[in-house]
Amino acid sequence: MIYLDHAATTPLDPAALQAMLPWLQDRVGNPASDHAWGRAARAAVEHARNQVATLLGAQPEEIVWTSGATEANNLAIKGALEFRGLRGAHLVTARTEHKSVVDSVRQLESQGLRVTWLKPDAQGLISVEQVLAALAPDTALVSLMWVNNETGVINPVEALAPLLRERGILFHVDAVQAAGKLPIDLSCTPIDLLSLSAHKLYGPQGVGALFVRKRPRARLSPQLHGGGHEQGMRSGTLPTHQIAGFGEACRIAAEQLAGEGARLSALRDRLQQRLQTALPGLYLNGHPQSRAPGILNLSFEGVEGESLRASLGDLAVSSGSACSSATREPSYVLRALGRDDELAGASLRFSLGRGTTSAEVDQAAQRVIDAVATLRRIAGSGTAAPVTPPINAHAYATPVWAAFSNPAHATALPEGAITAAAGSPAGALRLRLQAELQDGRIVRAAWQAYGCPVTLAVGEWLAAWLEGRRAGELRLTAADLRAALEISDDKAQCALLGEDAVLALERQMSLA
């Protein structure tokens, strides 16, 4: 396995683990308790608070612990606007923000908050001019991420912050992908609220922080109540071990910031160059210069996204599309950049980290080149080697654009064959069935499909099932397909596609 998904989560740094272990083993104590063990735990918490503040150029008392960046974003946005009051309030944010920002804002919007949603340019940037043009006399808050988590684009938050301060408007920045990767000095940059997460900079999962400026004071209404911890802004017993690991991770990040950033930029450019040299029809999602060191997002023309990802096997990269239980929707971030659904779905986010080597980058590039070339070749030819039974929906590691139900049928059926098709535009799935009839009975069947591995399994299973049947015998439901192929809930649309294709074929047979 080559791990290139550091924007999703980073491995725990060994030094951060060592900082955590005492609080998981022989040390006990609630940081809020007033005895020796409690005071020792509180000292560890405050030491970590100072380490986080140092990374950000902040004061320790400006760091509020949270369970992660999602909670920090919720506390910043909801807390600031609820303290101010939603009546007559206006907020400016971008369509490409993290879901924890987007959904928090939409929740407040449903309660009457007026929101301006900014659309980035084709390279994913939100400009200072865009933000300023969107401001109104009643604008209470601007929320803009420092580095986009999908594209790596760096927004001009440092230039924007003083302009918002002059206007008396609170500025919240989601810095999850920036902290520990880019220099941040909040003593010079007048950001009011800033969110970060430990597990994006080699700390433990389950802990984060919100910077809340003291001077001038950013006021928040708490979202969790009970005990008045963290200066009344976030109640709850503090996880000493996680906080200790977070602090140590920030210390290491501060030490390695400059050298690691340059190294990752070089590796990212090496990966991009190798892919662009070998593969035409490649699109960079993001800005070629204004981007974070370790993130590269590319769309691959002429392949289906899930097929590409399934064919990469032991290469851990992220999809540019978000999956739901019923349909696959392309990334809202990439669609905001102007990518169509197919290109947005056929995207990969490579995010490099401390352990990434040049050899791994070269190996990853070759795996992607081979996979894309194979899928494009198959798509262009319209044929492929058959998959050998037994058929198992979970066994398809290398999807194909076209295949046939039997080695003997590896050529197209006669022109007179009945053809029926079904498709799911939202899911970028297509399935075509062909049947050669003799005396009303199917003597040969074939299939073609474009989509995920489960779609291909459905096509092959149906072609085998169809042979020997008459029109009145094509009674098959999506539930039957799910049972036969053990299709999970999140792939139910593939079974529905198969049912639709069979119904369409039966209608064609009845007309023949």
Give one word for 144, left, alpha or beta, with left for phi > 0 and alpha for psi -120 to 50.
Answer: beta
SS (HEC) of 327-346: CEEECHHHHHCCCCHHHHHC
Pairing of strands 170-174, 139-143: parallel
Q: Is 452 a catalytic residue?
A: no
> What values do phi and psi take at 138, rounded to 5?
-100, 15
Among the listed residues 188, 323, 452, 494, the single catalytic one is 323
Q: How many CB atoms lie within 10 A of CB 42?
A: 18
Burial class (CB in 10 A: 0-12, 13-18, 19+), 204: buried
Q: Which residues lie closer than 8 Å to 269 by C-beta, 6 or more apart?
A: none
Peptide bond into 390 cis (omega under 30): yes
Nearest CA-CA partner of 150 in 106, 212, 94: 94
Q: Which residues lie closer than 8 Å to 257 by C-beta, 6 or more apart?
A: 180, 181, 182, 183
Angle between helices 240-278 and 14-24 (to 10 degrees): 160
Catalytic site residues? 323
